[in-house]
Amino acid sequence: MEQTGRSDRTQGILFIIASAFCFALMNLFIRMTGDVPTLQKCFFRNFFALLIAGGTLLRHRVPLKIGSGNLKYLLIRSIAGGIGMVCNFYAVDHMAISDASMLNKLSPFFAIVFSYFVLGERATAFEWGAVATAFAGALLVVKPRFGFEVLPALAGVLGGLGAGLAYTNVRKLGLRGENSMIIVTFFSGFTTLCLLPNLLLHYAPMTAKQWMFLVLTGLAAAGGQICITKAYARAAAKEISVYDFSIVIFAALLGFCFLGQLPDWLSVIGYVIIIGTAVVRWRVGAAASK
C-alpha cells in the first residue's frame, strides 16, 4: 500500500505539471485569437473539449453513467470551474498571459483551503508554508498594480478561487471512484450548454485564423483538463498543488517566444522561488514517505 501511495503521488505530480503546460498553451492561443468576445471564446473552448472527451468515452466504450451521489459534486465542480474559466479568459484578454496565468494558478492555494472544509484534509505547517512561499513568488511575477487594471486582476483572482473549488470537488469525485473522463465530459457539456444562449444571441463572425486558434485552444484545454482531473483524482491537493505553479515557467517561455514578452528581474526571482519551493516540497515529501 505504501508503494502504491508513492506511485499515485508521483503520477499526480507529473499530471499536474503536464496540465500546467497545456493551460499555458491554452492562454497563448486565447490571446492569439484576437478580438473575439470572451464568452464566445469560452463556448468554443468547451465545445471542442466536449468533442474530444466525449469521443474518448465512446472510443473506449465507457458508459455515460454518473456514480450514485456524485451529481451534486459534478454540478459544483462545473459551476465553479465555469466561473473560473470565464474570469480567466477575461484576464487573459486584458493582461499579459504570464500575469493572467499566474493569477489563475492561485487555485492551489484555494484548493488547500477548500480541501480542509470539503474533504477534511489537514495540511501540515510546512505544507502551508510551502504554498505561501510559492504564492509570494507568484506575486513577484505578477506585480499587481491597481488602477485601470483592477478589474482584470480581480477577475484573475476570482478565476483562481473558482478553479480551486472546482479541483477540490474533482478530488472528492476521485475519492468516490468517479471516472475522470466522465468528470471532464460533464464539465465540458454543462458549460457548453450554459454558454450556448449567449452565442446564439451575440455571435461575432470570425476569420479562418481565429477559428484555427480557437480549435487549438480547445485541444490544449482538453489536454489540460484531462491531466489535472487525473492529477487530483490520484493525490491530495496538499501533496501536489504546489507543482501547479510551474505554469509560470511555461507561460513566460511561450510569452517570450511568440509574443516577445521578456520577464524582468523581479519575475526571475519569482520563478526561482516557485521552482525552489517545488523542489523542496518534493524532497521533503519523498523523505517522509520512506
| DSSP conformation letters of 132-178 | HHHHHHHHHHH----STTHHHHHHHHHHHHHHHHHHHHHHHHHHTT-
- Per-residue model confidence (pLDDT) at position 147: 60
Which one has a higher pLDDT value, 86 or 272?
Answer: 86
- Per-residue model confidence (pLDDT) at position 286: 62
- Per-residue model confidence (pLDDT) at position 74: 95
- Per-residue model confidence (pLDDT) at position 277: 81
CB 100 within 8 A of CB 84: no
pLDDT (average), residues 260-277: 80
- pTM of the predicted structure, to 2 decimals: 0.81
Inform me whether the pLDDT recorded for 122 exceeds 60. yes
What's phi and psi for 80, nearest 5 deg?
Answer: -65, -45
- Per-residue model confidence (pLDDT) at position 211: 93
Which one has a higher pLDDT value, 262 or 205?
Answer: 205
- The residue with cell 487555485 is 107
- Per-residue model confidence (pLDDT) at position 198: 95
pLDDT (average), residues 120-141: 80
Count other C-beta atoms under 10 Å from residue 211's C-beta: 13
At 139-180, the pLDDT tens digits run: 777 676 656 666 787 888 899 899 889 988 988 898 888 888
Contacts of 143 (CB under 8 A, 6+ apart): 99, 266, 267
Minimum mean pLDDT among 91-100, 222-231, 233-242: which range? 233-242
User: If you ran DSSP here, which 8-state letter would residue 124 be given?
Assistant: P
At 209-221, the pLDDT tens digits run: 999 999 898 889 8
Mean of all residue pLDDT scores within the chain: 84
pLDDT band at 38 (very low <50, low <70, confident <90, very high): very high
> CA 20, 28, 48: angle at the middle one, nearest 5?
80
pLDDT (average), residues 194-218: 93
